[in-house]
Each structure stands twice: as C-alpha cells, then as structure tokens.
Chain A
C-alpha cells in the first residue's frame, strides 16, 4: 500500500461542533478518507498520545486543531502536534480567536473557579474542595491539567499556518481547504481559507439595505417579528455581517438570524469588534450624548455582542483586573 498523506484532527476547548462539521462533509468524507491516513481523531478513533508522540517530527502532513486553549494539557498536545505536523490548520472560531470559551476572558480565573466549585446553584461542596494540579493519595502523586489564567487562540500558543473560520467551518470551505492541501496549491502562510470580503456580498438580503440606516433603536431578536426578506441591520438587529468575513453563504441571515460574526474579520481588520462599532455607530441617528446613550442602551452586553467569537483576538486580549 502506497503511503497516503497522514492527517491529524485534534480538539481543545470546543463544543464538538467542529468535529460534527467534518462529519457533515457527508459523502465527501469518503473521498477524504480515501486520500489520507487519519492518524489522530479523538472523537472518532482510538489513538493514544504515545502513538502520536512516537511518530517522527513532521511526519504528519496536516493537523487540524479546533477549540480554544485553556488548559496545560491542551497546550502540551498542540505543541506536540506542531512538531509532528508539516502544516497546522487552526480549525474554527475557537481555535482562531477563542470563540465562545473566550468570553470567559471577561472574568478572572479565581472568580470562575469560585463560581463553579462554590457558588453555582447546583453545587454541593461544603468543604470548598477544588481540583488541584497535583495531589497525593496513598503515596501516589496524581496530576490534573492546569486551568490557565485566560483563554487563548491556537496561534497565541503555537505557530499556525492556515485558518479555517466559522462556528463551525462549513463543509464547503473545509473541502476546499482539504483539496488545496492535497493538491499542494497552498496560499501564503497565515491565510484565512475563506473569501476575504465581508458577508453582505453573499447575503440575499443585501439589496434591501437602505443607504442611510440612521438607526434610532437596537432590538434584540426576541423583541421583534423579523422580516425574512429585509436587511437585518435595517430592522435594528445587530447583524455583524458587514464586519465579518464571508464564506458561509450567509447561512444565519438565510435562517432569519442576524450574523454573530463567527467567521472573524477580513484580513484588513485587526479587531473585529472595534471595527464593527466604528461602522454601525457612526450611522446611528442621534447627535446628542443622551440620545446616543439611549440608543446604545439597546445593546446591554457590548463585549459579548461584538466579540462573541473573538475575545482572545481583541487587541486588549482580556478584561483587566
């Protein structure tokens, strides 16, 4: 049997949706399986860490790593994979920019642990016991991965070659990436493997957007009956589409949901949230501070809204103490 290129899939702090996305390739997955040898895929196949460690460095053609990085174990795995893989693809919003887990960067480590192990309503822990990285039991030393101070994107831990955006990446862009890898027709290192143009380009509602929004109010989805045809921003919903990279073919707007920005910004933008703010709020109607503030009050959670998938990649990285 000729040597097929070896690929690895790994997950860190993720929900499993990215794994699901691979499965969502449907029949296409057969083509992939035919073309490559999967040497690691914890969600589907039983490989041990030692198996991967035993492989020579750079013996794996590509590693697809999803999920954000929160624990020392995840750091250890991705560092190892970095050594073993020729190409590392950051797979999905969490790996790219922290994703939903990175919203935890609005809180300090201690407050998270305290809540989870002490204050959380379902918790019964009178001794206030917390998991320790190292503990002794009958003369043996037990270790647990360390819970880090913050959530990091993959490229804040190891060097990343390519990025597949999305929560999760759509089958179409995954296939395109796999084909590019297999054919060796790779774009410059650091490229996000999705069109470098904002989502409105692909959105069916685009034509219904008026030139002048002059918004006087922001609404949350449960507050209105959403018009299925009309531009969502024009309906007062926070649609991140204009500040979000395309490639998903505007799936959410097609499903009558505003874009929440999971594909991240275009390559020209350093900070998706800040850029979105710059754009949308320039276009609100009021001029007086009080009236402006009243409009802004319609967005009770600005960080969670504008950095839903990207707080690790906010230029400030996390909330300060």
Chain B
C-alpha cells in the first residue's frame, strides 16, 4: 500500500555531477551521455560533467551551484565512496548544504575499471546514477556526533615497531601501555647480531630503546601479557589484558640472576627458545642479559616445584628481595584507551614445509634465525660458528627464498631475505673464514646503500649462484662429496646443473603472518589480506590505518619489511594516533539507528541482535531504546524490526527501496 514517495510533496532540487577522472572513467563510460541522462531524471536541476570532480575547481563548482541554483540534494558520480565521500560531503557543507544530503555513485572502481564494453558500462553507470538520484530525495539532514577521545594509547607487540611507536607517543606526552606476549621486549631484532647494510650492532641500537621504554614515565610495560578482548569504538576502547604469572614479583626482582645460579638444576638442560633451541637454560631464567624488564621468570613446565611439588626452592631462598611467589595467578587487567597500535610482527617460515632442504633431517641445515644466534657474540656459542657436532664449517651454502616466491608455500617476496643473507654471508665469512655460497633467484637490494652492500660482498669473495636449489642431500656422488651436504642447483647463468658440497646450509626463511594473526585481527576487528598479513585501509594512502578507526598497524604484521621501514611505519602509526588524540574528539558517522517510539510495540526482537548492547528495553515505557553513542550503524536491527519501526540513518528503508527502484527503472 505504501509506495516510496519522498516525504516532502515536491521533489527536492538535485544537483548531479559526473567525473571523468582524467580518462579513468571517461575512457570506458560515456560521461556526456550519463550527464544528459541524469539531466532528464526527476528532481535534477543541474547536471554537469567535469574532468576531476575532486579537484578544487570541481568542488568549487559544486559549492557555487548549491548557492546559485538553490540545490537541496547532491549526487556525485565518480570513484568509490570509501575514497572521496568525505571530500564531497565537505564540498556540500561549503556550499551551505547539510553534508548528508549527498550521495556518491561509484562508477570508477565498480564500472569503468572492471568492464570492457563501453555501451554496457555506460548503461550500468546510468542505472547506478538513477538509483542514487532516486535515493537522495529521501536523505535527511544529519549531524555527526562528537565523542571525546581517551588520550591513552595501547601498543601491542614489543618488537622494534612497538618500541618505537610507544616511545614516540610517550615522548609526545601520551600515556602508553605496551603489551608484549613474551617475557621481554625486543622482538626479532633482539636476536640479531648486526643489521644490514651498515653492519651496526643490533643490540647497541636496540637495547637503549628498550631501556628507554622501561624508564619512560609515560610508558607502562606489560610483558608476558596478551590482549584478550577489545570492546568499544574509536577514541574509547576498553581492553582486557591477561597477564601470565612469572612466579616472580616484577616490582621486586632486580635481575641479579642469583636465583638462576641457585636453581636445583646445576646444569642448564632445557632448550632455550630465545636461542632458537641452540642453547640451554634452567627452569628459572631470563631470555638474555639485556632483557627488558630485567626480571627472571619460572617455566612451569620444567620447574621441579611445579612438576613434583618436592623442590627445596633454592631459587627463592637465594633471592634476598623475596621476589618469588609460587602462588602467583594469572591476572586480568582492564585498560581504557583512545587508540591502539598493533605491531605484532611476523613468524619465520617453518622450513619443514620445504622438506627438500633437509631441515630437521640433516644436522648441518640451519635456519637464518639460528645463524643469527650463532654469529651473535651474546649467543650460545659467543659468536663462534660451530656445527651441531662442534666442528667448524669450511663451506657454507645460503639458500635464498625458502618459503618465499614459491607457488608451493608462499607466493610473496619476503623483502628482507636477500639483504640478511648477504649480511649473514659476510658475518659467516668474517667469523669462520669459510667459503660461502649464496643461491638466489634474483638479488633484490632496493634500499638506501643496499646495492652498495651487495657490491661490497661481491668484492669479498662470497660466491653467488643464480638458481633455485633443487635439493640438499647427503648422498655423495664423488669422494669430495663424502660427509658433506650437497646442494644440487641449476646455475641459470652458467646454464648447467651444479652440485656444491658444503658443511653447513643456511635457509633464508621468509616472513609469514603470525600463527594467530587471524585470531588477533578478529579480536581487534580488523582485516587480513589473502596472505594473512593485517590489511591496511589503503595500500598507498592509508598504509598504517585499518578499516577500524583508532586501530593502527606498524611493522611486519602488515607485510614483510626491514628495520628502517618498520621504524618509519611505527612512527607513522604513532603520528596517526597522536592526530586522533590531539583532536580531542572524534566525529562518528551518523549512520546510527533509532527506534520510533510511537511505532514500537515492545516485542524486543531487536534487543539481542545488537552486538554492542546499544539496544535496551525500557521496562517503564515497554519500548526498545537505542543508545546512539554505542550504535555502530550496522543496521541489523532496522532489517529485523518486524513492524518497521527502526530507522537507520543513511540506510533507511525508503532510501534502499528507492535505490532498488532506481536501478531497475
């Protein structure tokens, strides 16, 4: 019985603009025809096309027309609203029109760029234009709600990205909580001996920043902790953090490590995860001497007390600060923050997935991270390159692109492997004097002073063989190969298959998303790309933003990247968070829903549907009520209200029905 007619008697005066986008749109859509078509649609009083609607003159034209032609509604047919909706809303406002009297038509991403037949593309553009013009008549004047922003920030992940972001924010005077899952901050960078291409000592540049985090009055450092739940919205997040028990009181321990000496286990006998399993540690341990916070912890799985209950607890006795607490429980903490920086890093590729390289089968095969520890002066061998059997390698083969650029495992280039392989080649040669062979597909050295570093290596006598290694085998074909690991490879420059016998193989494993990246991104309500890295809002223009406002990403959680890029990105993420906080408020998109009280029968159908508990039931009035500050504008309640008594701003029934009508006219 109800036909969709605009609430006002006469159609509003609509201004229509179609953008050429240079030739991006006009090469596939007959823009002039669209302009002419729109001019004939009901309500349209101005219809124009222009080269670049988003340019200043384009926007100026809109503002001027609004005034001159007394426009009451605005439709711009250009690119995706995700790109320029805000631009044209502002243009509308400059012309004195409520910015929500505007509708955008996406004829670039959804039409011009994806179709090949100009006639069909033009027809589709016209359908979409007709839909927008039909819908815009129903638009209501709306105001953005301003809500204050909590000035505190949480940074998740204490690698170099998280450390840099936290320090930047803290230096700007913001209170930062840095949450790290491991017992110490430092991340992957803390494992490295040197960094490419400058070969400066990783610890020398990283540990001062780690100490600065610990010492900073504006930073609260929660290591051995994980984010469990995130609620709220931009500017007002409530975060629940789980703090795992160390069985050592963090505020009492000074990191003297007397307890480690006193442990009932006289010898360290448990695999040391920090040293990639190459070293040993005791049940009470600290990852490395500069660990931050410098606080020991007990590994419950190996500690005699927890395993048998029969330990004399010599560690606790040795502690003159009485820091041990075997009854410590997991703690749950709540945080209120306005912004969140995610810097959760990467996981190294597991080379067991490329069994042809023999990792785990031949003791002489190592991952690059293991070698990082072996060449590290503070590593398990104090920087001496020894094989698992204690011998020193005379020849070392480094295989690039393990788990990268490989259709069978990961398709992407991990970006850092060429460079770190060069670095490791240099360090191995320097530390052991061994012959070093690099097996590469392409040498990728596209950074400042990177190519020069490659040149330097070429001059150092490191061998480079272009070709993907086919297999690593201990099957000797000649006496020279006896007792060696042989790398079989097609040398694509020389044009024949070679067999290179070595004592040690280094697998330059690629970078992957963290194993729990999917879980984490769900917890933070952001997206992942197909590879599983966190999805940025725009690959070029919003690389540290996500689709969830107030949540920023930095470092290798977004894509493989090296330290300089990671730090730059962390700074960018911090700056974005600062921009949000220092504005003091956020404007929320007014696409919220509301219940029309007189029409609500109080059936409560909508109440349980809201994921944000924005809908409550008023027991006095017997009606549902929506708290528009909590509402995030999904519209699920509007769709489900069985009597049509909930309206979602910008996506009202009238608006959507008229869009359907417009498309199918």
A-to-B contact residues, CB < 8 Å: 155, 163, 190, 192, 196-201, 206-207, 209-214, 241-243, 245-246, 265-270, 275-276, 278-280, 282-283
Contacts and interface: CB of A to CB of B under 8 A. Distances in A.
Tell me what chain B mostly uses at the interface: helix, strand, loop, or mixed.
loop
A196 to B, nearest CB: 7
Contacts of B653: 268
Contacts of A206: 602-603, 622
A79 B644 CA distance: 33
A200 B604 CA distance: 10
Contacts of B603: 198, 200, 206, 209, 241-242
A243 B643 contact: yes
Interface stretch (B86-94, B156-164, B605-613): B605-613
A209 B601 contact: no
Contacts of B607: 211-212
Nearest to B636: A282
A267 B636 CA distance: 20
Nearest to A241: B603
Contacts of B644: 265-266, 268-269, 275
Contact of B602 (A196, A200, A265): A200
Nearest to A213: B608
B257 interface: no
Interface in B585-623: 598-605, 607-609, 617, 622
B645 interface: yes
Nearest to A210: B604
6 contacts: A155-B1, A198-B643, A201-B622, A210-B604, A275-B643, A280-B605
A87 to B, nearest CB: 16
Given A279-B605, A282-B640, 8 more contacts: A155-B1, A192-B1, A200-B602, A243-B643, A245-B643, A246-B601, A266-B644, A280-B642
A201 B639 contact: no
B11 interface: no
Residue among B605, B644, B645 with the highest chain A CB neighbour number at 10 A: B605
Contacts of A243: 642-643
Interface string B1-13: 1100000000000
Interface in B607-665: 607-609, 617, 622, 636, 639-645, 653, 657
Contacts of A265: 643-644
Contacts of A246: 601
Interface string B472-497: 00000000000000000000000000
A268 B1 contact: no
Contacts of A276: 642
Contacts of B617: 211
B75 to A, nearest CB: 25
Interface of B: 1-2, 598-605, 607-609, 617, 622, 636, 639-645, 653, 657
Contacts of A270: 2, 657
B604 A211 contact: yes
Contact of A209 (B604, B641, B642): B604
B604 to A, nearest CB: 5
Given A243-B642, A270-B2, A279-B642, A200 B601 contact: yes
Contact of A197 (B2, B601, B605): B601
B1 A279 contact: no
A160 to B, nearest CB: 9
Contacts of A211: 604, 607-608, 617
B608 A212 contact: yes
A50 to B, nearest CB: 34
Contacts of A241: 603
Nearest to B646: A268
Residue among B598, B645, B657 with the highest chain A CB neighbour number at 10 A: B645
A265 B657 CA distance: 17
B645 to A, nearest CB: 7
A283 B645 CA distance: 17
Nearest to A245: B643
Q: Which 9 pairs of residues, A with B, have the shortest CB-CB distance? A: A268-B644, A198-B601, A279-B642, A243-B642, A212-B608, A242-B603, A198-B643, A242-B642, A201-B601
B599 A190 contact: no
B605 A266 contact: no
A296 B650 CA distance: 32
A199 B603 CA distance: 9
Contacts of A192: 1
Given A269-B643, A275-B644, A242 B601 contact: yes
A208 to B, nearest CB: 11
A112 to B, nearest CB: 28
A268 B596 CA distance: 11
Contacts of A266: 599, 643-645
Residue among A163, A196, A246, A282 with the highest chain B CB neighbour number at 10 A: A282
A197 B643 contact: yes
A283 B605 contact: yes
Contacts of A282: 605, 609, 636, 639-640
Contacts of A268: 2, 599, 643-645, 653
